[in-house]
Structure 1
Amino acid sequence: MQTYLMAFLIGGLICVIGQLLMDMTPLTPAHVLVIFVVCGAVLSGLGVYQPLVEIGGAGATVPLPGFGHALVTATIEDVNKYGFWGIFSGALRGTAAGITAAMIFGLLAAALFNPKG
């Protein structure tokens, strides 16, 4: 039960921050998306985001900062394993499933529903 509560609180806090950024600043959703992914990547690179993932679980890995975290974590792993070439393979390996799922579900949604032109 505590796992679900922490995921809800961490994920909810991330969403509240994003909503406040959109409501109280001139930032567009695209700006907030980029800010969150970059913040997740930077915090992961500094070793700050992993403890948040351990506490919040899916509440920290599913929102946008989790994508940045996945990029950096997989890249660091591949650099340690393959050296310089890991820079290029890590990000692709770490996020391929999520990117593929987004593309497939986007295609299905466009095929099943009438998209606005």
Structure 2
Amino acid sequence: MSPTSTDNVKNSLGEAGSRLKQAAHDAGDAIKGAADVAGDELRLGKANVKADLADSALSGLSALEGLGEAGREQMDMVLDKGRDLVDSAADLIRERPLASFGVAFAAGWIIAKLARTK
């Protein structure tokens, strides 16, 4: 007996169903594989972020260490400029003692006037 049209349709539908089942299985495997890859990428990204943050913290600490030295350098520069200014004023006083006394007297008088008015 030869297969009938109905038998051919049944066979075709059965083959389509098994191919559909295989396609669903393959899709599930693909999704699982993608999830595994995404998880691996996420772990790698997390490790990279941690490493970058640690490097940033080390750089910040290094900057803080250098900040103390930079502050000392700036303080030394200010002190040197102050000494130079005092030396310059001392030289001016030695060169023109009478004018220096007059300026100091005038400044004292102005300060005293300002202090009395308040």
TM-score class, shorter: under 0.3
Greater fraction helix: 2
Q: What is the TM-score normalised by the length of structure 1?
A: 0.24
